[in-house]
Amino acid sequence: MVKFFKPQKKEISPKHFALNIVDVDITGRGVARDDKGITWFVPGALSGEEVVVRTVSVKKNGTGEAELISVKKRSDIRISPKCPNHNCGGCSLQHMSVEHEKEFKARGVMRLMKKFLDQAPAEPESVVSGEEYHYRRIARLSVTGDKKEIHLGFREENGKALSEINECCVLQPELSALIPDLRELLQKISNYKLIGHVELVKADNIVAVMFRCIADLSHADIVMLTEFGNDKRIAVYVQTRHVKGKEDLEDREELQLLNPDILEGEKGLFYQIEGCKIYFVPGDFIQINAEINSLMIDKVQSYLNLNSEDKILDLFCGLGNFTLPLAKRCNHVYGIEGVWNMVKEAQLNAEYNSIDNADFYVHDLTDDFEKTLWAKSTFNKVLLDPGRAGAEKVMNYLVKRKPETIVYVSCNPLTLVRDISVAVNKGYSVL
């Protein structure tokens, strides 16, 4: 008797399950709901897709996060990522085109505003964007390894595994090209475990690399890093955190430029914007995309509608990225920032650029500040550019002062909507 082989239907692993993606949230995660009423968020999935996933976590509020295992039915808008390292944790949306990404982000912000504000916002005036690749001028790479091999790359989205890379298509080419050389250099370090991560920076005047260390490197290692910088024509910094106790850790950090002559007489790293030189050091916050930064500054100035009589309050001002260009077009600017060293650098940047109508103050804007000198000053327009945590306390203060215009630059739509709802409830309109 002849027996014919009949392939068995492939079954999903008990740890895996299928979902139908019905939407995409503001961060780009696919959204699905199962027959148990759990709402699942799936990074990398698109609306209309049938996917196989694995549970990462489930919360008591009835939501869960799942890892995408495979796509059974693809969306028409899914594309193949250009980058071979697209799951590295550095990027999360390379499976969709830039045009679709802009569309869903704009739609997501509009949906949040409609849901949480009493007034329906107007359609976005425009969605600005820049080059799709080779735009990022700063990156932080993690370092791990063993006696045989050093691994250098980005932490994956869950923050646990390290995805090793040899190149990065969103980094500026000069930075991407350094990655293999840095891995080879780290292999020669006498104790690689002293280096937690490596920061790459492309300033307007030079490329810089910072090695973040938990203790002093040996003299031989310092000589080797210095020679590497001189050979590659890059500035090499070492930042050392002396952990002798758990208190005052930030005060125990030291930053040293190993080859200062490489700067050829410049005061340090800098980028130029609106005719201003903004000096900074590795580790400072700067906008990662120079092209978008320039467009944002143009938009902010347009929305503030500046004149020579205006007095501006710039909250979360950092190095003076917005403050100094604004100062050239108004009567006075007050810049407030919670990081002491950045306030000092902002003051120096004002001096270097011969700007004398900008004052800078250091204050934690999540703390009480209404009795401070700057909070009692006179201003008629406000710019704020907070971190992901937003500016809830600041908004409660601003609505009491009633400035005529508030421009809010945000990297987190959720806290943006939460904060501007405070102003909307006091009679402000979203334009």
Q: Which residue numbers are catalytic?
A: 411
- 235-241 and 207-213 as β-strands: parallel, antiparallel, unpaired? parallel
- Separation CA 6–CA 44 (nearest Å): 34
- Separation CA 382–CA 388 (nearest Å): 19
- Separation CA 324–CA 329 (nearest Å): 9
H-state helical runs in 245-374: 290-304, 323-327, 340-352
Distance of CA 389 to the CA centre of its chain: 13
- Separation CA 338–CA 277 (nearest Å): 22
Inter-CA distances, 333 with 300, 308, 313, 369, 382, Å: 14, 11, 6, 18, 9
H-state helical runs in 170-218: 173-176, 179-188
Q: Which of helix, strand or coil describes residue 421? A: helix
The dihedral through the CA atoms of 127, 131, 134, 135 has a sign that is negative
CB atoms within 10 A of CB 160: 7
Nearest C-alpha neighbor of 47 from the set 90, 108, 91:
108
Q: Which residues on adjacent β-strands are paired with residue 279?
A: 270
Q: What does the DSSP 8-state code read for residue 315?
A: E
Q: How many CA atoms lie within 13 A of 374 on its CB side?
A: 21
- Separation CA 277–CA 250 (nearest Å): 27
In the block, residue with structure tokens 């919670």: 338
8 Å CB contact between 214 and 295: no
Residue 412 phi, psi (nearest 5): -140, 100
8 Å CB contact between 355 and 327: yes
The structure tokens listed for 285 are 């916050």
**Burial state string for 298-323 with b = 16 or more CB within 10 A and e = fewer than 16:** eebbebbebeeebbbbbbbbbbbbbb
Q: What does the DSSP 8-state code read for residue 251?
A: G
- Separation CA 359–CA 386 (nearest Å): 19
